[in-house]
Amino acid sequence: MALLEVEDLRVAYGKIEAVKGISFTVEAGEVVTLIGTNGAGKTTTLRTLSGLLKPLAGKITFEGQPLNGVGAHKIVSMGLAHSPEGRRIFPRLSIEENLQLGAFLRKDTDGIAADIRNAYDRFPILGERRRQAAGTLSGGEQQMLAMGRALMSRPKLLMLDEPSMGLSPIMMQKIMSTISELKAAGTTILLVEQNAQAALSLADHGHVMEIGNITLSGTGEELLHDESVRKAYLGED
């Protein structure tokens, strides 16, 4: 049994079907990536897994438990965390307050304090500026905060939506190496990325999404070397 199983998932906004029946799994310990052009349905998929959107049809199972009809808070408490597209940190709250919000369902004060220290070990800049408003952080630093906040729920599955969006090449590298470190530490990750090269390089499995469908699946390695992927997503002709 995979950690996450998605079967024939369909999601619509009114009459517009954004996800048209996709199936994939995420095994514990894996990094799985969804790549694809704008509007393919990647964010819609993650938002549905988080319980923020209701599927039209299909089955979502997490650790063998159905997620259909389960509320967003309960889904976090079951171990699924989401670092959303555009980061969505709270700019007026301090960095530390943002991290604490990631632990809003936990009651173990000592454990939360320890995890905040872990976040500062992983991202020293967050510790140095912990009392400052999060809105003063650069885009890349805000991404670190968004990931740190998602990790505060001690997730079994971490979903990252476009973590490298809008970042300089150096910051993108830093974020990607953080994802590699998390993977090496055993974190299971579902990664949505525009940067297909970077995402496929570190993913165990990948799926190409096009207008609501998965059109190609393989190991990260296979997709990296696939001719159609290279043409469409890696800028080769």
Ligand X SMILES: Nc1ncnc2c1ncn2[C@@H]1O[C@H](COP(=O)(O)OP(=O)(O)OP(=O)(O)O)[C@@H](O)[C@H]1O
Q: What is the DSSP string of 24-77?
A: EEE-TT-EEEEEESTTSSHHHHHHHHTTSS--SEEEEEETTEE-TT--HHHHHH
Tell me whether residue 30 or residue 162 sits nearer to ligand X (CB atom). Answer: 162
Partner touching 18 among ligand X, Mg ion, none, CB below 5 to 8 Å by kind: ligand X
What is the nearest approach in angstroms of ligand X to the Cβ of residue 186?
27
Half-sphere exposure (CA, 13 Å, Cβ side) for 208? 22
Partner touching 44 among ligand X, Mg ion, none, CB below 5 to 8 Å by kind: ligand X
Tell me whether residue 16 or residue 184 sits nearer to ligand X (CB atom). Answer: 16
Tell me whether residue 46 or residue 119 sits nearer to ligand X (CB atom). Answer: 46
List residues near ligand X by CB under 6 A: 13, 16, 18, 36, 38-44, 85
Partner touching 16 among Mg ion, ligand X, none, CB below 5 to 8 Å by kind: ligand X
What is the nearest approach in angstroms of ligand X to the Cβ of residue 163?
12
Partner touching 13 among Mg ion, ligand X, none, CB below 5 to 8 Å by kind: ligand X
- Interaction with Mg ion in 8-47: which residues (CB under 5 A)? 42-43
What is the nearest approach in angstroms of Mg ion to the Cβ of residue 148?
21
Token pair belonging to 39: 């509007």
Partner touching 39 among ligand X, Mg ion, none, CB below 5 to 8 Å by kind: ligand X
Q: Which residue is nearest to Mg ion (CB)?
A: 43
Contacts with Mg ion: how many residues (CB under 5 A)?
3
What is the nearest approach in angstroms of ligand X to the Cβ of residue 211?
8
Tell me whether residue 64 or residue 235 sits nearer to ligand X (CB atom). Answer: 235
The number of angstroms, rounded, from the C-alpha of 46 to the middle of its chain's C-alpha atoms is 7
Count of beta carbons in the 10 Å neighbourhood of residue 154: 14
Helix (H) and strand (E) counts in the chain:
10, 10
Would you say 182 and 31 are in contact if contact means Cβ atoms under 8 Å apart?
no
Measured at the CA of 27, the angle between CA 22 and CA 33, to 5 degrees, comes to 55
CA-based nearest residue to 54, from 11, 3, 116, 92: 11
> End-to-end CA distance of the chain, in Å?
40
Partner touching 216 among Mg ion, ligand X, none, CB below 5 to 8 Å by kind: none
Sort residue 46 into left (φ over 0), alpha (ψ -120 to 50) or beta.
alpha
Tell me whether residue 43 or residue 153 sits nearer to Mg ion (CB atom). Answer: 43
- Interaction with Mg ion in 77-96: which residues (CB under 5 A)? 85
**Residue ranges binding Mg ion (CB under 5 A):** 42-43, 85
